[in-house]
Structure 1
Amino acid sequence: MTGGQARHPRASKTVDLAAEAEGFLLARSHHDAARREAAQLCAGMLWLTTAQAEEVARYYCERRMLLTRHMLRASVQRADELHQEYESRYQELRRALLRRHAACASAVMACAAGAGAAAGMLAR
């Protein structure tokens, strides 16, 4: 659904920049969480050497970020699908409402014309 108002180019750039910054911060927080989880995982594996622990942590972070990216893309895709579904349903409801209003207005006009004709006939 569009609001019918065109955004100012400068406002559009600001909104885009804010969305990009929000995306960066979200990705960064997911990456930090993956690092913490990897550190906790490696801390429980006391038999790992430092190099092995670093490799496990790197691999875990890599896999976790791929999973997160996949889940976010799936969420965005589903949100787009829902947006399209709701948009089409909104348009259908809007057209139905317009038809009903037009029918009611026609009925009111017909009644008014009939009442006017009847009043004219009685006035004679």
Structure 2
Amino acid sequence: MNTADTNTAGTVNDIEGFLLWEAEKRTAHSRARAFGSRMPWLTDSQRQEVERLYAQDHLDASRGFLERVAARGGELRAEYEHRYRALRCRLLAAALFGAAAVAAVAAVAAVAMVVTVP
């Protein structure tokens, strides 16, 4: 993947993240309004404050959840990259061992042919 592709992918991820967060904010405010509407005894200013606090609490919880998910995703990525490197090393070692075995068998066969030819 070249630098332009990486930049494009990063930009697309940023846009997607922005749109998802905006949707989460809309959901939080919508749920806050629904919560506030269940308390008809509140004054308008009290309802607005309750809705603001509810929405902020919802967004704080969402942000915390997303940060935990992102951290875990980074941990998993590092773990799988480590395993992938280890598997590549094992595969390379097996290929080199196989090539050495084939070369050894070929050498033994060549020596055997030289020794048996009068």
Deviation at 1:91, TM superposition (A): 0.5
Structural mapping, 1:26-105, within 5 Å: 26-105=20-99
CA distance in 1, matches of 2:19, 2:2: 28
Aligned length: 118
1:113 aligns with 2:107: yes
Query: What code does the residue aligned with 1:46 have?
Result: P
> 1:20, CA displacement in angstroms?
2.2
Q: Distance in 1 between matches of 2:103 and 2:72?
A: 46
Query: Does residue 14 of structure 1 match 2:5?
Result: no
Give the secondary-structure state (helix, strand or coil) at the position aligned to 1:106: helix
Equivalent residue letter for 2:3? R
Deviation at 1:13, TM superposition (A): 4.0
| CA drift at 1:12 | 4.2
Q: Distance in 2 between matches of 1:93 and 1:15?
A: 27
Relative to 1, partners in 2 of residues 1:75 and 1:108: Cα closer, same or farther, differing over 3 Å?
same
Please identify runs of 4+ aligned residues in structure 1 that moved more than 4 A.
Answer: none
Structure 2 length-normalised TM: 0.91
Partners of 2:114 and 2:33 in 1: CA distance: 92
Unaligned ranges ≥5, structure 2: none
Instruction: Quickly say closer, same or farther: Cα 1:77–1:57, change in 2 above 3 A.
Output: same
Q: Percent identity?
A: 33
- 1:50-84 deviations in Å (ceiling 9; x for gaps): 21111110001111111111111111111111111
Q: CA RMSD in A?
A: 1.4
